[in-house]
């Protein structure tokens, strides 16, 4: 059963994000902090006495400008994630042809098309080179039909041929190339085009929240100058609320940043990392991604992809890399079988 997300549900994430951000920023601007308006005007906005604060930077103006720059960068990246195309799969020429066939005829054609070589050059070996060595019951050298090893899938909802690593998102109601996950916080899928921007948003958000926590910590009224604990809590109530919001958001951002950095280094997606046994092309590999080219090459491709490459071209590169990894695994199994005999 497909899930359909309404217009209101798609706005919950941005609304919550905007509300929490507004609360924290207003507290920073109106309370006695280094980025407060009172530091420049001397006005008492909320009835609390202005007190000297312990400076965490060289000057109050420098602290305000640093916070403003970090805040602007984080917000631009966030709204970029919510509005950009994550890499929706576009109908190909073969997809437009397959629409007119029935489901059974379409499956038969897809199995035939999967048997064709991906490329004719030496850098992209065709599927016909691979023997059925993954099946231990087979002793002959008859090649395994590629459609049985790596079937070409069809999305009946979008009526497109699904490339490798793509998946249909029931929230966006579109198929996404190199599908990572659907993020409710940005109400958008994270895919081939948007994964790098999403990672940059997590990085900027982590830096901004760390800087915010530092400002809030240095802005707290000293407890030794308060007559009672209740008076200290009442004096710092707004700062403590903002600190709690920022701390919880910082913990989530840092954990997600670490996880997506590991995904980028190993050339995986969230979907592939969490559900490898349920994905057909991941079942032949254990504890390693078939698309990995090494930590350095993976991170370089993730951060600096070719600007002129289309999603279809990058999908084809992933398919070629999968066959290269599959060939290596077949060679290792062949060598192991020879040694045991």
- Interatomic CA distance for residues 196 and 304, integer angstroms: 9
Check 169, 175, 183, 311 and give the catalytic one. 183
- Among residues 308, 271, 305, 312, which one has the least CA distance to residue 289? 271
CA distances from 215 to 63, 80, 218, 270 (A): 9, 27, 5, 34
Within 13 Å of residue 23, how many CA atoms lie on the same side as its CB?
14
- Interatomic CA distance for residues 192 and 176, integer angstroms: 8
Q: Which two tokens mark 309?
A: 């490459």
List, in sequence order, every beta strand (DSSP E) within the chain: 153-155, 160-162, 167-169, 174-176, 181-183, 188-190
Q: Which two tokens mark 161?
A: 């041929």
- Interatomic CA distance for residues 158 and 156, integer angstroms: 6
CA distances from 245 to 141, 164, 196, 251, 284 (A): 62, 40, 26, 10, 44
Contact between residue 12 and residue 31 where contact means Cβ atoms under 8 Å apart: no
Burial label for 152, CB within 10 Å (0-12, 13-18, 19+), is buried
- Interatomic CA distance for residues 335 and 327, integer angstroms: 12
Indicate if 183 belongs to the active site. yes
Contact between residue 152 and residue 113 where contact means Cβ atoms under 8 Å apart: yes
* Alpha helices for 168-307 (secondary structure H): 195-219, 229-235, 237-266, 270-274, 295-303
Contact between residue 74 and residue 211 where contact means Cβ atoms under 8 Å apart: no
- Interatomic CA distance for residues 220 and 16, integer angstroms: 26
List the catalytic residues.
183
């Amino acid at each position: 059963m497909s899930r359909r997300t309404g217009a209101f549900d798609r706005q919950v994430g941005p609304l919550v994000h905007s509300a929490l951000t507004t609360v924290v920023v207003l507290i920073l601007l109106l309370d006695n902090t280094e980025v407060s308006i009172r530091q420049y005007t001397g006005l008492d906005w909320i009835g609390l006495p202005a007190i000297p604060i312990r400076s965490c930077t060289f000057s109050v103006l420098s602290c305000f400008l640093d916070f403003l720059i970090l805040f602007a960068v984080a917000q631009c990246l966030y709204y970029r994630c919510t509005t950009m195309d994550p890499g929706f799969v576009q109908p190909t020429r073969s997809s437009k042809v397959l629409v007119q066939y029935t489901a059974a005829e379409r499956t038969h054609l897809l199995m035939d098309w999967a048997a064709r070589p991906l490329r004719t050059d030496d850098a992209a070996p065709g599927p016909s080179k691979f023997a059925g060595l993954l099946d231990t019951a087979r002793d002959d050298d008859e090649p395994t039909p590629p459609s049985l090893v790596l079937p070409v899938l069809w999305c009946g909802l979008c009526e497109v041929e699904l490339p490798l690593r793509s998946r249909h998102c029931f929230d966006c109601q579109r198929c996404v190339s190199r599908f990572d996950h659907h993020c409710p916080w940005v109400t958008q899928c994270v895919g081939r085009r948007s994964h790098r921007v999403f990672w940059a948003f997590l990085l900027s958000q982590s830096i901004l929240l760390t800087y915010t926590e530092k400002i809030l910590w240095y802005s707290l009224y000293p407890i030794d100058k308060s007559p009672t604990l209740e008076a200290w809590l009442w004096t710092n109530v707004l700062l403590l609320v903002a600190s709690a919001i920022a701390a919880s958001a910082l913990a989530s951002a840092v954990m997600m940043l670490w996880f997506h950095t590991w995904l980028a280094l190993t050339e995986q997606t969230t979907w592939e990392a969490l559900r490898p046994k349920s994905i057909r092309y991941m079942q032949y590999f254990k504890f390693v991604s078939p698309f990995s080219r090494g930590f350095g090459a993976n991170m370089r491709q993730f951060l600096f992809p070719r600007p002129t490459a289309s999603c279809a071209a990058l999908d084809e590169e992933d398919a070629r890399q999968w066959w290269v990894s599959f060939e290596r695994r077949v060679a290792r199994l062949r060598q192991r079988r020879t040694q045991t005999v």
